């Protein structure tokens, strides 16, 4: 009974406090035909905690500074157009919220990283439902903690790498959440450098000039349910430890240096439940160790996995390799403790006499032909010829050039679910 009373009092108190707060916070309205016609003026007139409400219309303004904690809220097609003059919105205050607004046409340049929205040194910023069109960089976060980017739509239509910046660019940030954003047409869709503890989920990054996502020196991050497709170079992640890459889709990355995902010096990380479909190379691993690659689907890639010999102690298990041109290729006869057991390989030609679901003879996913192609790429044209099949069969029977220990000793007869 007593407990109930106390909670009631607390609750009522809380409600009162909230109503007082909202009474204090006011709204400054910016509109094309009102008293305030400029977003910057609106911000200047607002008090910390106020909302600056931008009515529908195109506001040609650049270098807008948010230097106090406000909410910048748009209505309908409220567009802030930088007219390619400079940054569009610069956030300097903690806990700033930018929502339901459009930001267009930042300046492009080589000296400065111009951006649609730049957050520098401000923490706990929230950017949500913002449409960013044709900015050099889309959202640029530097030295920011606890910031959330959610449901933003970031596109650019630049053709060349040099006059295009990244869609979402993070530099020295901590505990950032990037959720359900869409990025297309930038240099890198997402770019992280020195990022710690980020959570990236549900984003879609496609048709970017270079990488769908590119990150380095960014430990302890988690990537979940993102889709990276049809980017110039696919996805490249480097120099990082302890990342979780789970349930993402890597698809349709075609080209001589296009990878579903490229891992370079990635250690102690997990790659699980992802699908790699229709990439020139599904998963490329270089100098990466102690990673767990499990339960992924590799479908119809040119090369499902390219594993460089300087990668060690990685485990590949319970993956499905279906209809890839090459299942695994490598650049050496050596295999340093990479384990490939318990996968399903559609190129497996063994049998299962005891009917326990596991093939009775080991599978060698590295074909002789993949080594020939490695040495002389032009021979790729002979793929699926009878000659190559004969060579592969001979090599399987008596391995002379392929790594002897790179085998799956428990190949599954049916795809792993």
Tell the smallest beta-carbon distance from residue 389 to other proteins (Å). 8
Residue 406, Ramachandran bin (φ over 0: left; ψ between -120 and 50: alpha; else beta)? beta
Contact status: 255 vs other proteins (CB under 8 A)? yes
Contact status: 384 vs other proteins (CB under 8 A)? yes
Nearest residue (CB) to other proteins, 96 versus 279: 279
Around Cβ 8, how many Cβ atoms within 10 Å?
A: 10
CB 28, CB 51: distance < 8 Å: yes
Among positions 29, 300, 315, 405, the unique one binding other proteins when judged by CB under 8 A: 300
Integer Cα distance of 101 and 69 in angstroms: 17
Tell the smallest beta-carbon distance from residue 211 to other proteins (Å). 16
Stretch that binds other proteins, among 6-14, 123-131, 175-183, 378-386 (CB under 8 A): 378-386
Nearest residue (CB) to other proteins, 160 versus 384: 384
Residue corresponding to tokens 């910023």: 125
Contact status: 303 vs other proteins (CB under 8 A)? yes
Among positions 40, 144, 278, 339, the unique one binding other proteins when judged by CB under 8 A: 278
Contact status: 309 vs other proteins (CB under 8 A)? no
Footprint of other proteins on 42-61 (CB under 8 A): none
Q: How far is CA 264 from each of CA 108, 132, 229, rounded to the nearest angstrom?
A: 30, 31, 20
Nearest residue (CB) to other proteins, 3 versus 378: 378
Contact status: 76 vs other proteins (CB under 8 A)? no
Among positions 25, 358, 383, 416, the unique one binding other proteins when judged by CB under 8 A: 383
Integer Cα distance of 114 and 59 in angstroms: 18
Among positions 105, 248, 269, 279, the unique one binding other proteins when judged by CB under 8 A: 279
Q: How far is CA 85 from each of CA 88, 91, 103, rounded to the nearest angstrom?
A: 8, 17, 13
Nearest residue (CB) to other proteins, 11 versus 351: 351
Tell the smallest beta-carbon distance from residue 376 to other proteins (Å). 4
Tell the smallest beta-carbon distance from residue 257 to other proteins (Å). 8
Stretch that binds other proteins, among 35-43, 142-150, 274-282, 404-412 (CB under 8 A): 274-282
Contact flags string 322-361 toward other proteins, x per CB under 8 A = xx-xx-------------------x---------------
Residue corresponding to tokens 């599904």: 282
Among positions 16, 27, 32, 254, the unique one binding other proteins when judged by CB under 8 A: 254
CB 337, CB 312: distance < 8 Å: yes
SS (H, E, C) 222-280: EEECCEEECCCCEEEEEEEECCEEECCEEECCCCCCCEEEEEEEEECCEEECCEEECCC
Nearest residue (CB) to other proteins, 21 versus 375: 375
Residue partners of 410: CB distance under 8 A and separation at least 6: 341, 342, 358, 359
How wide is the angle at C-alpha 278 spanned by C-alphas 277 and 284, nearest 5°?
Answer: 75
**Reduced to 3 states, what is the DSSP secondary structure of residue 393?**
helix
Stretch that binds other proteins, among 18-26, 142-150, 192-200, 384-392 (CB under 8 A): 384-392
Footprint of other proteins on 102-141 (CB under 8 A): none
CB 411, CB 362: distance < 8 Å: yes
Contact status: 13 vs other proteins (CB under 8 A)? no
The site that binds other proteins (CB under 8 A) totals a number of residues, namely 36
DSSP labels, 42-84: HHHHPPTT-EEEE-SEEEE--SEEE-S--EEEE-SSEEEE-TT
Among positions 301, 338, 343, 412, the unique one binding other proteins when judged by CB under 8 A: 301
CB 218, CB 197: distance < 8 Å: no
Integer Cα distance of 326 and 186 in angstroms: 31
Contact status: 275 vs other proteins (CB under 8 A)? no
Question: For binding to other proteins (CB under 8 A), which residues are involved?
Answer: 254-258, 278-281, 300-303, 322-323, 325-326, 346, 372, 375-390, 415
């Amino acid at each position: 009974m007593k407990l109930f009373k106390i909670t009631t009092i607390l609750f009522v108190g809380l409600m009162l406090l909230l109503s007082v707060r909202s009474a204090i916070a006011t709204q400054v309205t910016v509109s094309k035909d009102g008293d305030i016609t400029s977003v910057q003026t609106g911000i200047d007139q607002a008090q910390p905690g106020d909302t600056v409400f931008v009515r529908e219309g195109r506001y040609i303004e650049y270098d807008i500074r948010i230097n106090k904690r406000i909410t910048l809220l748009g209505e309908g097609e409220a567009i802030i157009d930088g007219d390619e003059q400079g940054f569009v919105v610069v956030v300097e205050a903690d806990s700033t919220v930018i929502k339901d607004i459009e930001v267009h046409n930042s300046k492009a340049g080589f000296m400065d990283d111009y951006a649609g929205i730049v957050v520098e040194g401000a923490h706990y910023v929230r950017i949500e439902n913002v449409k960013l069109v044709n900015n050099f960089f889309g959202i640029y976060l530097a030295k920011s903690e606890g910031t959330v980017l959610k449901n933003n739509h970031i596109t650019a239509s630049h053709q060349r790498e040099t006059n295009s910046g990244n869609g979402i660019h993070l530099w020295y940030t901590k505990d950032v959440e990037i959720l359900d954003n869409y990025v297309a047409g930038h240099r890198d869709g997402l770019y992280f450098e020195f990022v710690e503890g980020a959570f990236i989920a549900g984003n879609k990054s496609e048709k970017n000039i270079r990488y769908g996502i590119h990150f380095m020196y960014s430990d302890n991050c988690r990537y979940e349910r993102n889709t990276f497709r049809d980017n110039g170079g696919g996805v490249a992640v480097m120099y990082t430890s302890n990342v979780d890459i789970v349930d993402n889709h890597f698809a349709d990355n075609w080209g001589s240096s296009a990878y579903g995902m490229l891992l370079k010096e990635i250690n102690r990380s997990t790659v699980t439940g992802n699908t790699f479909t229709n990439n020139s190379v599904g998963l490329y691993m270089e100098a990466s160790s102690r990673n767990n690659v499990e339960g992924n689907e590799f479908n119809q890639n040119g090369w499902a996995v390219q594993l460089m010999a300087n990668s060690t102690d990685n485990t590949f298990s319970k993956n499905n390799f279906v209809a890839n041109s090459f299942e695994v290729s490598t650049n050496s006869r050596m295999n340093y403790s990479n384990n490939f057991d318990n996968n399903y390989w559609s190129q497996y030609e063994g049998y299962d006499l005891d009917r326990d679901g596991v093939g009775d003879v080991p599978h060698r996913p590295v074909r002789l032909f993949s080594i020939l192609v490695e040495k002389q790429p032009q021979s790729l044209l002979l793929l699926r010829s009878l000659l190559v099949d004969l060579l592969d069969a001979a090599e399987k029977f008596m391995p002379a050039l392929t790594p002897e220990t790179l085998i799956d000793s428990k190949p599954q007869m049916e795809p792993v679910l």
